Structure 1
Amino acid sequence: MTKPPRKPSKPLLRDDAPVRSRPRRQRDPAQPNLPFDPMPDRIEPCLALLKSKPPKGDDWVYEIKWDGYRLSVHIEPTGIRILTRSGHDWTHRFPAIQQAALWLPVGSAILDGEAVVLDEQGRSDFGLLQQSLGGRGGKKTSSDAIFMAFDLLYFDGHDLRNSELSMRRHLLNDLVPAGDQRDIRLSEEIEADGDQLLASACEHGLEGIIAKRRDAPYRSGRLGDWLKIKCVQSDSFFVVGYEKSTAARGQMRSLLLAARKGDDLVYVGSVGTGFKEKDAWALREMMDSITQKTPAIKYAGRRKNIVWLQPTLIAELEYRAWTDDGKLRHASYKGLREVQDNAAVYELDDIR
């Protein structure tokens, strides 16, 4: 298959008006069968591998890193399905994205992207997204979330996963035009030097950038075709306990955190900042329902008044670095991840 030009002079899907699939009619028995691919019920997402610096070379293209919930939007003959990273159906929670998908000029498609809520400066804000959904475990629908589409995996009867990224983006750019301000928007590729783009992203308070191999197919899992380079490190950790306090918000001084190491959990420090008063009390209520007598980690610290918890809550944190003894430095609480989001808890073998 020949590679399309990066900036096609003529859109693929439109001439004077959007192209829509015609109504079905009976097939002529004399007509040969066309090789359509069955539409996958669900696709495991391609995940970005954490790196400390952007890669070099023309083989890579860049995008802004969005801070939200990874979703896939399925446009099917029977309607729209919006699935989380772990395959839970959240269509009802994103009615604006569902409606926007209905208007796309395509009969069937699977879009890969991120649901985000933007702040006043146009930056994605995970905390605002959580608030719009009613917090962790909340049942609210979000009218503020938009979908930033960055890949097209299936398109009108054709599975695109074996096509290279540049081909998939060529089709996606026509389906979701750059600059469109509706509730499904294009996460635009940026032709730039990686180091300069990262510096600019950090200067503007963004989370970081994503680098993708231009000629790579879509492969599920964390295999290195996509890389993430962060301005401020942000990862997920188990909450394994909290330290009581009569003065602090929610009457808790800090949360005790753990990361994975193989099949074990390892204590990686605590976080005592970033809590809003309303969120702190809601978090305390959730934690008091999952207490246990013994810690889920080996703990040799000197903190007093610790309440140990079952390791079921996953907190998203920002932090600056790691100490020499493997603890988080300058950590700040951002919120709890949803179980359905299938957030990956930090592995201590990851790059630091």
Structure 2
Amino acid sequence: MKLQPIVPFEPILAGQLPAGNQWIAQIKWDGVRMLSYYDGSNTQLINRRGNYRTAQYPELTDVSAYCKADSVILDGEIIALKDGKPTFHEVMRRDSLKNGSTISVVRHQVPVIYMIFDILFYNGQSTMDQPLFSRQQLLSDILLPHPHVQAVPSYTDPSELFAAAQSQSLEGIVCKDINSTYAPGGKDKRWQKRKIISDLTAVAGGVTFRDGIVNALLLGLYDVKGNLHYIGHAGPGKLTVQDKRDLTAEAHHLKIDQMPFAAVPQRGKGAFWIKPKLVFKVHFLEWNTSGTLRQPVTQARVDLPPELCTMEQKG
């Protein structure tokens, strides 16, 4: 039985916490959304963009070691910790790997945890039309102890969890209606995310150098007409020395003479223009009235098509 890939259900961005006793809350993990597919003999890990990531996480490919099921589809987030907190940069050190021998080495340097929060298919039957509280009970019944797998805890007081997440400087929380069914490819108010740290994915249209090495990115987002709008000038943030060297080499390869932005950036002086091909995840404090990001910090480079970096992320 071949299990078909599913586009995961997504939460909407909310400005305040929902009210009512039908809501549960879970930590929003700063990791990589991943669905695992087990047909009874083979396992595939596929991210929310439909890209296969089975090879990158060999410690998660034996589903029978952490789940009592003849066949199953699980939904969750793969995270990596640094100083006890999930960090996107660390998990991307695993997710971006392609070479098998490198994966074997780095898997021990960057251990991951698969934080599972939903089950979409079980023993030959879809569970997506069941209410969330039933799916969570099923998960509780079939998940087994495993060093790289955990069930995501749920809490009945969203405001209390949000305050705890704030105190720990975590990314935010997700609130879910316990009666909600799972809508593949859907995105509606039955699942709501409340962020503490704002983030988005943006494409670099230019860079600046210091001592011959990239020291800042000029970032942009596309509007509905395909125009690239400058949104800010971010330093390398969590990029490593080797990341910056690799980025410098790529920037020279992508050099163009014409500015790719719709208007001249505020920080355009001395910019080195590049084809908008390189995509980065960025944390920021808030949007300025000028349409730029306040205090943007580069987290990691991500393997996404540039055209997905749209103004819709402004919410």
Instruction: Judge same fold: TM > 0.5, yes or no.
Output: yes
Q: Aligned with 2:188: secondary structure? A: coil
Return the match for 2:189 from 224, 229, 232: 224
Q: Aligned with 1:48: secondary structure? A: strand
| 8 A Cα contact 1:69 1:116, kept in partner | yes
Q: Aligned with 2:314: secondary structure? A: coil
Deviation at 1:349, TM superposition (A): 6.5
* Bigger fraction of residues in helix: 2
User: What letter matches 2:294 in structure 1?
Assistant: R
Deviation at 1:343, TM superposition (A): 10
- Report how many residues are paired: 304
Match of 1:320 in 2: 285
Match of 2:52 in 1: 89
Match of 1:11 in 2: none
Match of 1:50 in 2: 13
User: What letter matches 2:13 in structure 1?
Assistant: L
After superposition, the C-alpha distances for 1:87-136 in whole angstroms (9 at most, x for unaligned) are 22221111101135445211000000111112232x21111112244xx4
| 8 A Cα contact 2:66 2:143, kept in partner | no
Match of 1:333 in 2: 298
User: What letter matches 2:133 in structure 1?
Assistant: S
Match of 1:125 in 2: 87
Match of 1:208 in 2: 172
User: What letter matches 2:61 in structure 1?
Assistant: Q
1:283 partnered with 2:247: yes
| 8 A Cα contact 2:170 2:196, kept in partner | yes
1:183 partnered with 2:145: no
Q: Partners in 2 of 1:320 and 1:108 — Cα distance?
A: 43
Deviation at 1:205, TM superposition (A): 2.1
Residues 1-12 of structure 1 mapped to structure 2, 5 A cutoff: none
Q: Which runs of 5+ in 1 are unaligned?
A: 1-37
| 8 A Cα contact 1:50 1:228, kept in partner | yes
Match of 1:150 in 2: 117
Match of 1:174 in 2: 141
| 8 A Cα contact 1:243 1:254, kept in partner | yes
Q: Which runs of 5+ in 2 are unaligned?
A: none
Query: 1:110–1:102: structure 2 CA closer, same or farther, 3 Å change rule?
Result: same
| 8 A Cα contact 2:221 2:230, kept in partner | yes
User: What letter matches 1:119 in structure 2?
Assistant: K
Match of 1:4 in 2: none
Q: Partners in 2 of 1:344 and 1:100 — Cα distance?
A: 32
After superposition, the C-alpha distances for 1:181-239 in whole angstroms (9 at most, x for unaligned) are 521210111121x2232121011121110111111111123223221111111111111
Query: 1:261–1:88: structure 2 CA closer, same or farther, 3 Å change rule?
Result: same
User: What letter matches 1:245 in structure 2?
Assistant: R
Query: 1:103–1:268: structure 2 CA closer, same or farther, 3 Å change rule?
Result: closer
Q: Partners in 2 of 1:296 and 1:235 — Cα distance?
A: 20
Q: Aligned with 2:230: secondary structure? A: strand
Q: Partners in 2 of 1:346 and 1:57 — Cα distance?
A: 33
Larger radius of gyration between Structure 1 and Structure 2: 1
